[in-house]
Every structure is written in C-alpha cells, then in structure tokens.
Structure 1
Amino acid sequence: MPGTSLADWLRAQDDTALAAILRARADAATPPPADSAVLATRLDTRASIARAAEALDTFTLTVLEALLVVDADQAPVPVAAVAAALGPDVPVERVRQALRVLRQRALVWGPDEEVALPSAAREAVTAFPGGLGRSVPGLAEVDLPARLAELDEPELAVLRRLAAGPPIGQTREAAQVLTLEQARTPVQRLLARGLLVRRNTDTVELPREVGLALRGDRPMGTVEVDEPAMTTSSPGVSTVDKTAAGAALELLRHMDLLLALWSEEPPAVLRSGGLGVRELRRLARELDMAERDASLLAELAVGAGLIADSGGTEPQWLPTTRVDGWEVAPPEHRWATLASTWLDLPRLPGLAGHRDDRDRLLGPLSEDLRRPVAPRERRRVLAALAELPEGTAVPEVDELAEVLAWRAPRRGGRLRDDLVRWTVREATSVAVVALAALSTAGRELLANGPAEAAARLAEALPAPVDHVLVQADLTVVAPGPLEPELAAEIGLVADVESAGGATVYRVSEASVRRALDAGRTAVELHELFRTRSRTPIPQSLTYLVDDVARRHGRLRGGAAGSFLRCDDEVLIAEVLAHPQVGDLELRRLAPTVLVSPLPLAEVLDGLRAAGFAPAAEGPDGRLVDLRPEARRVSAGGRAVRRAALPTPPSDERLAEMVRQLRAGDRAAATPRGAVVTTPGGLGAGPSATLELLQRAAKDGRSVWVGLVDAHGVASQRVVEPINVGAGVLEGYDHSYGEVRRYPLHRITSAALVET
C-alpha cells in the first residue's frame, strides 16, 4: 500500500496512544510483541480485526463498512470521501468521532484527513459492506442511470430489493445463460443486460455499481447515527429496594427448601451429566415455581458450592459441607453469595429446556449450558441499567435489547436478544433487579462486589420479628421474617402456605404429628403458641394439638427388624386385623407386642398410611426422631466452577509492553554486522557467540542480541557488554537506559553494531 505503513504509524504514536491500542486489542498484545512490525502483523489478522469489531456500535461499524466501500483497504482515502459515502444526513463531526474510536483500536490509521484500513479488514468485517455487492469493473464506464431508465417496473423492483441488501438472491433462473431476446422473466432480462451477475446455478448478485446508482446520494442506505430511545418509568429507589428485599427473602426460602429436599431425596446425576427432566419437574412442583426458575435455582446451588456431584458409580446431587455454615449466616450475606455466584456464573441457565443443533434437549447442570462469555454479557446488560438514574426502570425489555443490539450488533450471535431477556429475568429472581430497575444492592454488587451489596441489602430488609399471629382457621401469619429460632419452631409445627412480605403457615394434623415425632410435647406446643402469638389462641388449635397428642405414641416401635408395643391389647388386635398393614409382615410376639422384619421407618410409615399414629421409641423408652439426617458431600466435589472474567492489563503492565516495543524498534533499526546464531535457539551458546560478546566487552563495542524469555517470547536488545561470564551477560541496555543482566542460554543471536 502506498503511503505510511501500519508499522510506521504505530512507531509514530506516543506512549499513551500505543498503550490504548494494546489495551483495546489485548489479543494482539499476548504475548507481548517484540516490536512495532510484529504488532502490526498481529493487528492485521482476520481473527483480531473481527474480535475488535465486536466492541463497535452500529454507527461506528457502518463507518468501517463505508471505508471498505471506498476501498480504504487498498489505498488511503480522504475523510471527506468517507463522509460522502455515508450520505448528507450524517454530520461530518460524527464521522470524525467514529474514526477516532477506530484509530484507538488501530482499525484505521493515518493522519486526521486521510485514513487507511488493514488489508484483512474486508475478510474480517463482511463480504458485502453496506449491503452492497462486489464490484464489476466493466460497469464503471456504463451510463447506469440511462440503462436503469430503460427497465420496466418488475425489473426495477428486483433491483431495488437487492439494493436494500443483502445483494444476493436465490433463484433457479440463474441456471441458464440466455440472450436478451430469449429472456422471459425480469431476472433473466437483468442477467442478460449485465445488471445482475450469475454467481452459480441458483445465486445472483447485484454489482456494487448498480447498487450505488440505485441508492443515489445515500450510498450506505439508511444510517443509524444514534442509539434507539428507551421508554423509562420511575418507581422510586425505596419501592425498588423494598421489592428487591422481598425477592431476596423468597430466593433464600426456595434455596432452603431445595437443600432440604435434596438432602432427603437427592436426585441422580445423569450419565451424560446434569439433572433429569423428571427431577426438575419434581423440584418445580415441590417448590411451587416454574421449571425455568427451578433450573436457575439448581444452577445457583451448584455454582455456589452448596450442591455438588457426589461422584462414584451412582452419583447424586448432594448438599455439601458448606451448607452448614451458609445456613447460619445472616440473610444479606447468604443473598450476596447467591447473587455474586449468578453474576460470575460461566453458564446460561436460560438455555435449559431448549434444543441444540442436533435436536438434543439441553438440561440444567449439564456441560451443554457452559458459556465462558456469560458473565461478560450479564455485566453488559446490568451496566446499561446502571447508566440510568437510581430508581429508574425500563418496563420494556425488548427496548433494552434494541439499545444493546445497537451498541454491539456483532456480539452475542443468534442468542444476542435472548441473553438480554434472560439476564433481566434472572436478575429479577436473584433480587439484583426489581420492578425492571437496578436495585441499590444490585448497583453495589456490580460496582464494588458482594460485601458492599450485602450491606445495602441489609438496610432494605425488614427487621426480624419475634411473634406470629394465630388465626381461627388454623393459619399462623408471620408479619415479617421470623427470628431464626422461632422460624425453625414454627416450620416444624406448621407448613408454609404462602410466602411474601408476610408468610402464612397452616397447622394440620400431619404438621403437629411431625413436631411430636421430633420430640416436642403437647405442653411445649401450647407454650410456643401462647408466648409467641399476638392474637388469642383459638380453641380449634388447642383441640387439634391435644387430640393428636392423645393418640400420638400409643404405639411404640423399636428395631427387631422392628417391633411395636402397646398397653392396649385391643389396639394391637386392630392393627393386626387392618387390611392395609399386611405388607408390614407383623406378627404377635406377646399380647401387647408385635414384631416385623422390616425397618422401623417403613413400619411406622405403613401404619400412618393406615390411619394410626405410632411413635418411634429408643432403647431407653424415650421418643426418637427418625427423620433422615441431612446428607452432605465434600465441598471439593465436582461442582460447576466459576470462570473469572479476563483481567485487562494493568497500567504498569501496559507501560512495560510499550517500553519493550520501543526497545525492539530501536534494536531493529540499529545496523549490525554478521549475526552469530545459537543453534536450536535455546541451550548453552556456542563458543563463537561467547567470543563475540567477550570481544565487544573488551573493545567497548555495542552488540545487537536476540533474546527469548522464560515464556518463549522473543525480543531484541542493543547492549554494551560490561562483563561476560558465569553464564550471564551484564551490560548497559541502550533500550532501557540502565545496566541489565541476561542469561547467556537465553541469547539466540548476536551481532556487533555497525559504526
């Protein structure tokens, strides 16, 4: 290309501009380039340009395509030509702004009034820039306006449709090559006139020259200069935070239920990994939530290390040892754990339930849902919400998706808009977003991490209450989050009927029996309700507790396999005669004792199903709780690990890379004599290299040396040797302006600097 090359332009940039390029094009900076020529080569690769283009907004990408339309990849073009290609409606200053962005990424280079593109840009950006086809040089000398004026309306309609883009069309009429006299259809006549080009037997293409003629003074068509507007509302910071606090408590309640359920009945890990469809449906049914929400909850449990694959021949999803500590942590810290897990989860829970390209169902917790870019995309969506004033909502998620699509149209692939919808929905479930607005705790999580987010949520959470309201219909209302000890006691004697700002529990015969099975007495239950209820205790609740307690424990079971004993011989006879207990294999051992070969838990469950109310008895005659102990697996199991987001280079690292580039450029520009090369690159240098370095130290001459560091990165230095020995070259490095030491086995080549 005539004019300044990309490498020359890079050498001319100041250190600040060069560091900005290395930051924006981090892929080209890894490993650190030896000099500007190496950096220029990396910047001019298809993969690197395509990756850089992913960060461009729609208008800047349109400017990049306009540069391709005016062939800036072949020769430098004036900025005025680029502006003209964008049409009269686009302000020139907006074009210059876009060009500055492209320069900061080294996607264009050159002076302010003339720019050039890397040679690989056309291949990396698009095959049809601006929706225009490839050029047909023969049409440059044709009077296209006159030729177009000869066409009838059907022919013009075909051309206009292709001119709007894309410029290719599928038709079987391209299979034959006909003369104008033989042509019968509009496409055939256009092919015969040369206004369409036949690419293969079923594809035609509109030449660029014809497309430009049809578009007139707007070669790039309609240009979206500014991002779409979003409709917003203002529910208010307080309302948003209170709603988010309620959602956080609901999230924790559901997580507690999941951990309890999977502790008692852990689901199997599928042979292919993940959670089965039936297990997901059971979880959704038990938690009374949609399957997609249950899938997200399971992903959070595994991502946070609360659930893990137990391994072994029959692996199961089991709670880990981390659960015990997590359960006693304050609610805000438990929420922060789950919210930060979601934010950095390298998976897409929203994909669960969809099918892949091979029509396979994608299940939760499977490797099919792993997407390392997921954390970056979540942060991008939340960052767009964070730009709005606090307490401001975006009710229409599709409008947010349109804005983000304008800001980065090449990012996200076919799931681009779905990622926005999934992120907002999941963020609402984990209380990062509420009422379509970012909560205060969510802003802190995004900006400062989970510790600060937990503190902000704690401010919004209602204070724990130490009382309940017992109703006449046997419901117990908790007017807020209960103190942990009270919540455990109420949860033992009653079942959650509905949750929200106030949780409603219902007391039933089964729930009272559960409390008695756990060792509580009727007196203790009466005392619980009497001391903790702010409303009078209804007689119906007192009667219920007393009635269940009166019948509870009349039958006592122990292990024989198991045994049953009762002082009432009539009740023993009733049990033996009951038609539903035949499977329990009971036999009378004494007038008041029955035994069974089955485990005690199975016998008691069978008797309860038949309408009896037995209790378990220990060796000392006291009641025991036979509910299964919580199962735990090591937290170091095969849990889904979070992948950290790529860390951009620090300012210190960028400054070091710039210094290395400058050093490499100076070394490359330094004239040198015959080069002595170390055979094979690494290893002990040959005697010729050692002799050259020692002679240079003796004569006070500078040498040009090629080095390879411990990571295999090559570089060049101009060094004036001071001492050569003990396996080390010590000398004044002209590139850094200081004395440095280099191991001799890292030197791959050396030459005396010409004077």
Structure 2
Amino acid sequence: MSGITLADWLRAQDDATLVALLRTRPDIATPPPADMAVLATRIGTRASVARACEELDTFTLTVLEALVVLDADTAPVSLNTLTDLLKLKPKQVKQAVQRLRDRALAWGEDPLLCVPPVTREAFGQFPGGFGRSTGQLVDLTGVTDAERRVLDTLSAGRPIGETRDAARLVSLENAETPIQRLLARGLLVRRDPITVELPREVALVLRGDRPMGTIQLTEPKLRTRDLTPSDVDATGGGEALELVRHVETLIASWSAEPPPVLKAGGLGVRELRKVAKDVDVDERRAALLVELVVSADLVGNSEATEPEWVPTTKADVWIAANAENRWATLAQAWLDLPRLPALVGQRDDRDKLINPLADEVRRQQAPRDRRWVLDAVAALPPGTSVPDPAALAAVLGWRAPRRGGRQRDELVRWTFDEATAVAIFAHGAITSAGRVLLDEGPGVAAKQLAESLPAPIDHVLVQADLTVIAPGRLEPELADEIKLVADVESAGSATVYRVGEHTIRRALDAGRTADELHELFRSRSRTPVPQSLTYLVDDTARRHGRLRGGAAASFLRCDDLALVSEVLAHPAAHQLELQRIAPTVLVSPLPLADVLDGLRSAGFAPAAEGPDGRVLDLRPGGRRITPRARATRRPLSPSVPGDEQLGELIRLVRAGDRAAATPRGERISVPANLGAGPSATLSLLQQAARARRSVLVGFVDSHGTAAQRVIEPTIVGGGVLEGFDHSYGEVRRFPLHRITSAALVDED
C-alpha cells in the first residue's frame, strides 16, 4: 500500500491519542508490544479488527465498509471520494472517520485514508453488496426491461447469480437471452460456466443516490415512560423477598430429597417439574432458580458413585443471613452466570431437549451481553421504564450490530425477564438496588435494598378459619415462630399461613409448649384469637408426648460385667454420656466413632460391630458435601489498565522504537542458555553508565514473566545492574543473569 504506513502514523500521534487507542482496544496491549511496528501488526490482525468492529455503531460500520468498497485496504482513499460514495454531508462523514481513527481502524493524514488489509474479511466476499471492479465506463442506453430486471435484482442483493446462459460467450449479434446480451455488453461478468457477476461500476449507477443503501445516521428513538422511583423500588423489594423465599424452599426440598445428576450432567425434566411444584412456580422460573443456586455455590454435585445435587455448607451461611444479603448473593450470581437459563426447555441442533445445568446452556459471553442490556437501561434517568424490550433490542442493534449474534433480540427479552425475576428490574425500569449492584457490587446493593424494603412488622392477623395473615415482612424472630407453627398457603405482599394439627405438632416437637403457643398468638395477633385455634392447640398438646422415645446413637455390649462396671466408673464415661440399660449393655447419644475414640484414649480397646456381629471399619468415607474450589474465571475481554499504566506502556513502545533504530553493534540479545550473559552485554551496560545514556533492558522477573524497562545505569558489576528506572521513577536493581536483551536508546 502506498502512502504512510500504520506504524509511521502511530509514531506521529501524541501519547494521549495512543493511550485512548489502547483503552478502546485493550487486546493489542497484551503482552506489551516491543515497538510501534509490533503494535501496528497487532492492530491489523483479523481477530483484533473483528473485535473492534463489534463496538462500532451501524453508521460508523457503514463508513468503514464504504472504505473497503473503495479499496482503502490497498491504496489511500480521499475523504471527498468517501463522501461522494456515501452521499452525506462532509461533517457527518468526518465524525465517523474520527471514530475509526480513534480505534486505528482507519489511519492517514487528511484527506487520505487507509484501512488494515484484513478489514475486507470482516465484511464478507462482497462488501456493500458490490461485485469486483472492471474499471470500465457504464452505458445503460438500450437496456431492455428484461435486462433491467436482471440488473436490478443483482444490484439489490448479492451481485452474483447462477444461470446456464453463461455456459458460452457469444457476440451481441448472436445473443439470444438477456443474460447473454448483458455479458456481451460488459454489464455482467462471467465468473464460471454457470455464474455471472454484476461489476461494481454498474451497481453504482443502478443504485443512484443511495449506493450504500439506506444509511441509518442515528439510533432509533426509544419509547419510554416515567415511573416514580419509589414505586419501582417497592415492587423490586417485593420481588427480592419472593426470590429469597423461593430459593429457601428449593434448598429445603433438596436437603430432604436431593435429585440425581444425569449421566450427561444436569437435572432431569421430572426433577425440574418437581422443583416447580414444590416452589409453586412455572418451569421457566424453576430453571432459573436451579441455575442460580448452583452458580452461587449453595448447591453442588456430590460427585459420589451415584451423584446428586445436594446443598452445600454455604447454604447454611446463606440461610442465616438477612434477606437483603441473601438477595445480593443471588443477584450477583446471576450477573456473573456464564449461562443462558432461558435455553432450558428448548431443543438443540440434534432436536434434544435442553436440561437445566447441562453444558448446552453454557455461553461464555452471557455475562458481557447481559450487562450490555442492563447498562443501557441503567443509563436512563431513575424511574424511566422501557415497556417494550423489542424497542431496546432495536436500539442496541444500531449501537453494536455485530454483538449478540443471532439471538440478540431474544437475549434482550430474556435479560428483561430474568432481571425482573431477580429484582434488578421492576416494571421495565432498573431498581435503585440494581443500579448500585452494577456500579458498586453486592455489599452496597444489599444496604440499598434494605432502604427500599418496608420496615418489618411485629404482628399478624389470626382469622377464624385458622389462617394467619402477615400483612407485610415479619420481624425475623416472629417469622421463624410463625413458620414453625403454620405452613405458607399463599405469598405476596401479604403472606397467608395455614394452622393445622400437623403444624402445631411440629411446633411441639421442636420444644414449644401449649402455653407458649397460646402466648404467641395472644401477644402477636392484632385480631382476637378464635376459640377454635385455642381448642386445636390444647387438644393436640394433650395427646402429644404420651408415648416417648429417646435417641441412642451408639451402644456398647460386653459379657464381662466387671469390665462394664470399670467403664462406667471411669471419668470418660461421663464425657461420653454412657448409661446402663441392661447388665451388659451401655448406650450413648454420641456417634459410635466418637465413643470408641474416647474409650481408646482412656486405655480401653473397643471394637465396632455391625448388626450381624462382624467388626466394622468406621474410618470416615468423605461423603460430606462442601463447595468445590472453582478455578478463577478468566475475563471475557482483556482488562483495561489505568491511564498511568497505559502511558508508561506507550513510553516503553517509543523507547523500543528508538532502540530498534540503534546501530546493530549497539544492540545486544542474550541467548537464554548463556546464564549470566556474554561479556558484550556487560560492556554495553558499562558504556551506557559511563556515558549516562538510557538502555532498553529486557529481562525475566522472579515469576518468569518477560518485561522491558528503560534504565539509566549507574552501577554495573557484581552480578547486578543498578540504575534509575524511568518506568517507576526510582532506582532499582536487576540481576544480570535475568537480563535477556539490552539496547542503547537514542536520545529524543
């Protein structure tokens, strides 16, 4: 390509421009490039250009495509030529070109522009829908209606078509069909015996004043409506409490009866339906709940011989937390979830049903795309609702048409539904807690939600039909007592509990007395306690406990009465809570393993036996479920360093440029197998120290990471290079055996 090269253009830019470039395209900064030539090479790679195009809006992408149509990937194109092709005002085109320059997708000094050669690959075989150029003048005089229909069809879509009329070339006099006449006049080009192509010049004439089609200069207007932020937060608070209650029910259900893990991984359809029934939700929400509890490490795969989905020890910590912190844990788990729960219930490419927790639901880009949607709504003023997700999908489609893939519109709708379910959205608007969660994390979001929730109430309403109504969120202590003595019948802004004989028996089994239950209802109910409830409590309590049972976790038996007496007389017997229930039998409420360990420590030699009298091996089997240590999740895109770090990186790149321009005799590379390095390296460093010149030093740090620094040596010897590090603004020491390269840096 003639004209200025990308590397030269980069060298001519100031540091602020280059820092902005690295901020918008962080992938080209990792690992740090050695010089501008390396940076230019990375900018022009296929993957980097494709990634950068994903961040372009529709108009800017159209301008870049127009540059490719004008062959700016092979020769510089003037800004006037670009403006003529687009048929737009110069100011509009200049603004888009500047956005391309900011990302180094276009470069060059005004008025000439170039683009990386691989940019053509980003637009397919026919950029702008144009065929190849023939360089000839176009004359449509005498074109018949049939011929014009062929040309219009090819100019409106793909510029190639298949036809048998291209099997042989004929003169205009011998042409019999419209295709043959067009080929003879040069208005079509024969690619092979069955394929013809419309030349670019013909398409430009046919398209008239819209050669690049209808160009969308601005994004579609988003229809919104204004809501009161407090109403949004109140609705979101209710959804948060509902989410917490559903997850708590799911954990309780799986604690009692863990579902099996499918052989192919995931959760079966029957088990999903059971979750939906237990939690009283539809299967779509049940799938979301299942994905959330596993993502939050509240449930894990037991990985036993017959694996099951079992709550982990983290579930107990989660249950013990307050409602707002429990919500924050679940909401953050959803934000970071690299999966699309909405795919559950659909069918894959093999027409196989997709199950919850299956690998088919995994999408690594899901967190990035999810935040893309959420950030768009969060950018609106508080209380602004987007009633139609399809309208937002159209806006996002204009802002970044290459993001989201084929499921972009569905992704927006799924995100709206799931964000509402996890209380980040309410009525199509983002809640205050959701906004804080995106900006500051779950800890601060939990505090924000607490402010949005109504104050806990300290009373209930007992009804004559043995129902108890909680007109709001109950105080934690009262909520626990009511859950113990009644079952939830319906939930919502007011929760309805049902009292029955089995619920009262449950409270009595937990240690409550009839008097305590009477006092609970009398002191906490704002309505009179019905006589039927008093009778029910008394009748159930009268029958409760007449037949009693005790727990004995282990027993000891011995035919030697003297040994049994010796055991009982030992101080360890009290610690082990041993009791005699027969002359030769002792029992204890402690596990057998603990009893045997205690007796062995006391000097006895007991053995464990099974129901058949055989000796048992009581060594722990490792069945307990604990959260698995997860590998650190790699970021989907390179992290962007701060401006100070990027500025230092640019200084190193410029130093690398100056080092590359250094005469060959003043540049030393040290082979890795030479240990302390050749004497030439020492000589070069000592020369720099005497002349007070800076050196670009390449070295490997103690972690094995290669790096470069611009050093002004002061001391070279004793196996150490000591000098002023321009990168850190301080004096540093470098072991000479870790230095891999050294080059004098020409002064600016």
Aligned residue pairs, count: 675
Quick one: which of 144, 149, 171 aligns to 1:151?
A: 144
Matches within 5 A, 1:615-694: 635-637=626-628, 646-673=638-665, 677-680=669-672, 683-691=675-683, 693=685
Shift of 1:273: 2.5
Q: Secondary structure at the match of 2:117?
A: coil
SS of equivalent to 1:354: coil
Instruction: Write the distance in 2 (CA, Å) between the matches of 1:495 and 1:186.
Output: 81
Q: Is the 8 A contact 1:347 1:374 kept in 2?
A: yes
Q: Per-residue CA shift, 1:580-628, capped at 9, x if unaligned?
A: xxxxxxxxxxxxxxxxxxxxxxxxxxxxxxxxxxxxxxxxxxxxxxxxx
2:698 counterpart (679, 700, 707): 707
Spell out the pairing of 1:45-84 with structure 2 (5 A cutoff). Answer: 45-84=45-84
1:745 is matched with which residue: 737, 740, 745?
737
Cα contact 1:335–1:454 (8 A) shared by 2: yes
Aligned residues of 1:467 and 1:478 also touching (Cα < 8 A): yes
Match of 1:130 in 2: 128
Kindly indicate whether structure 1 or structure 2 has the higher relative contact order, using CA contacts under 8 Å at least 6 residues apart: 1
- Whole-Å Cα distance in 2 between the matches of residues 540 and 176 of structure 1? 96
Q: For residue 259 of structure 2, what is the aligned residue in structure 1? A: 267
> Residue 168 and residue 640 in structure 1: after superposition, are their counterparts in 2 closer, same or farther (change >3 A)?
farther
Decide which moves more: 207-216 or 380-389: 207-216
Which range moves more in the overlay, 35-44 or 462-471? 462-471
Residue 433 of structure 1: aligned partner: 425
CA distance in 2, matches of 1:304, 1:653: 34
Question: What are the residue-to-residue correspondences of 1:86-101 with 2, within 5 Å?
Answer: 86-87=86-87, 90-101=88-99
* 8 Å contact kept, 1:318–1:633: no
1:57-90 alpha-carbon deviations (Å, 9 max, x no partner):
1111011001111111122222122122112xx3
Inter-partner Cα distance in structure 2 for 1:466 and 1:701: 78
Please give the alpha-carbon distance, in whole angstroms, between the structure 2 residues aligned to 1:560 and 1:664: 78
Give the conservation status (yes or no) of the 8 Å contact 2:490–2:496.
yes
Hey, what does 1:593 align to over in structure 2? none
How many angstroms apart in 1 are the aligned matches of 2:523 and 2:623? 35
CA distance in 2, matches of 1:550, 1:709: 81
- For residues 496 and 745 of structure 2, the distance between their equivalents in structure 1, rounded to whole angstroms, comes to 87
- Range with greater deviation from structure 2 (360-369 or 544-553): 544-553
Which stretch shows the higher mean deviation, 275-284 or 354-363?
354-363
- Taking a change above 3 Å as real, the CA distance of residues 461 and 739 of structure 1, as seen in their structure-2 partners, is closer
One-letter amino acid of the structure 1 residue matched with residue 140 of structure 2:
P
What secondary structure does 1:318 align onto?
Answer: strand
Equivalent-residue separation in structure 2 for 1:97 and 1:632 (angstroms): 64
Q: Counterpart of 2:577?
A: none
In structure 2, the residue matched to 1:413 is: 405
Change in 2 beyond 3 A, CA 1:263/1:655 = same
- Give unpaired runs (5+ residues) of structure 1: 562-630
Tell me the secondary structure at the aligned position of residue 141 of structure 1: coil
AA aligned opposite 1:143: V
| CA 1:185–1:391: 2 relative to 1, 3 Å | farther
Q: Corresponding residue for 1:535?
A: 527
Q: CA deviation at 1:203?
A: 5.8
Report the Cα offset of residue 14 of structure 1.
0.7
Conserved? CA contact 2:255–2:310, under 8 Å: yes
CA contact (8 A) 2:136 2:201 kept: no
Aligned pair in 2 of structure 1 residues 172, 557: CA closer, same or farther (>3 Å)?
A: farther
SS of equivalent to 1:346: coil
Q: Which residue of 2 aligns with 1:117?
A: 115
Give the aligned partner of residue 507 of structure 2. 515
Partner of 2:468: helix, strand, or coil?
A: strand
- Equivalent runs, 1:247-258 vs 2, <5 Å: 247-258=239-250
Deviates further, 179-188 or 322-331: 179-188
Residues 371-394 of structure 1, C-alpha deviation per residue, up to 9 Å, x if partnerless?
A: 332222122111111121211101
User: C-alpha deviations, 1:437-490, integer Å up to 9, x for none?
Assistant: 011111111122223222221122111111111222332211001112222222
Deviation at 1:175, TM superposition (A): 8.1
Q: What is the deviation of 1:508?
A: 3.2
CA–CA separation in structure 2 for the residues paired with 1:754 and 1:528: 86
Instruction: Tell me whether 1:309 sits opposite 2:301 in the alignment.
Output: yes
Tell me what 2:387 maps to: 395
Paired position in structure 1 for 2:15: 15
Contact preservation (8 Å) 1:243, 1:434: yes
Given that 2:662 and 2:743 are in contact with CA atoms closer than 8 Å, whether structure 1 keeps it comes out as no
The answer (yes or no) to whether the contact 1:305–1:635 under 8 Å persists in 2 is no
User: What is residue 40 of structure 2 aligned with on the other side?
Assistant: 40
Q: Which amino acid aligns with 1:292?
A: R
8 Å contact 2:485–2:499 — kept in the other structure?
Answer: yes
How many Å separate the matches in 1 of 2:344 and 2:288? 9
Unaligned runs of 5+ in 2: 554-621
**What does 1:323-472 align with in structure 2 at a 5 Å threshold?**
323-472=315-464
Question: 1-side partners of 2:238 and 2:55: how far apart?
Answer: 37
TM-score, normalised to structure 2's length?
0.82
Q: Superposed, which structure 2 residues align to 1:526-605 within 5 Å?
A: 526-549=518-541
2:105 pairs with 1:107: yes
- For residues 687-730 of structure 1, the C-alpha deviation after alignment (integer angstroms, 9 at most, x for no partner) is 44445555x3697496976624446647596x776543222344
In structure 2, C-alpha distance between the alignment counterparts of 1:640 and 1:397, rounded to whole Å: 35
Provide, for residues 178-230 of structure 1, a one-character-per-residue CA deviation record: whole Å limited to 9, x for no partner: 65789887667656665445556776543322221211122111001000111
- Maintained 8 Å contact 2:505/2:544: yes
Paired residue type of 2:22: L
Q: 1:664 to 1:526 in 2, by over 3 A?
A: same
Q: Given the alignment of the two structures, is residue 726 of structure 1 paired with residue 718 of structure 2, yes or no? A: yes
SS in 2 for 1:52: helix
Partner of residue 477, structure 2: 485
What is the one-letter code of the residue matched to 2:109? P
Question: Which residue number in structure 2 is paired with residue 141 of structure 1?
Answer: 136
Which deviations, in whole Å up to 9, do the C-alpha atoms of 1:140-169 show, x marking residues without a partner? Answer: 3243432xx51324x433433332334345
**Which whole-Å CA distance do the structure 2 matches of 1:102 and 1:382 have between them?**
26
Please say if residues 700 and 720 of structure 1, whose CA atoms lie closer than 8 Å, have aligned partners that are also in contact.
no
Q: What is the rounded CA distance, in whole Å, between the counterparts of 1:672 and 1:468 in structure 2? A: 88
SS class of match (2:226) = coil
The amino acid that maps onto 1:465 is: I
Residues in 2 aligned to 1:699 and 1:649: alpha-carbon distance in whole angstroms? 36
Q: 1:460 to 1:748 in 2, by over 3 A?
A: closer
Shift of 1:364: 2.1
**Contact in 1 for aligned 2:655/2:696 (Cα 8 Å):** no
**Residue 398 of structure 2 aligns to which amino acid in structure 1?**
W
For residues 301 and 201 of structure 1, the distance between their equivalents in structure 2, rounded to whole angstroms, comes to: 61
Q: Answer whether contact 2:223 2:391 (CA < 8 A) is retained.
A: yes
Taking the aligned partners of 2:67 and 2:6, their CA distance within structure 1 comes to 16
- 1:236-285 per-residue CA deviation (whole Å, 9 max, x = no partner) reads 21211111011111011101101111111112222332222221111111
Do 2:190 and 2:196's aligned partners in 1 also have CA atoms closer than 8 Å?
yes
Q: Contact 2:226/2:383 (CA < 8 Å) preserved in 1?
A: yes
Going from structure 1 to structure 2, the CA distance change for 1:438 and 1:752 (only over 3 Å counts) comes to closer
Which residue is equivalent to 2:556? none
Pair 1:683–1:166, CA change in 2 (3 A)? farther
Report deviation, 1:303. Answer: 1.9
Relative distance call for 1:197 and 1:396 in structure 2 (3 A) is: farther
- For the residues of structure 1 that align with 2:259 and 2:467, how far apart are their CA atoms? 32
Contact 1:321 1:632 in 2 (8 A): no
Rounded to whole Å, the distance in 1 between the matches of 2:366 and 2:397 is 16
CA contact (8 A) 1:58 1:407 kept: yes
TM-score, normalisation: structure 1: 0.81
Q: Tell me what 2:579 maps to.
A: none
Specify the alignment match of 2:233 in structure 1.
Answer: 241
> What is the alpha-carbon root mean square deviation over aligned residues?
3.4
Distance 1:173 1:474 in 2: 85
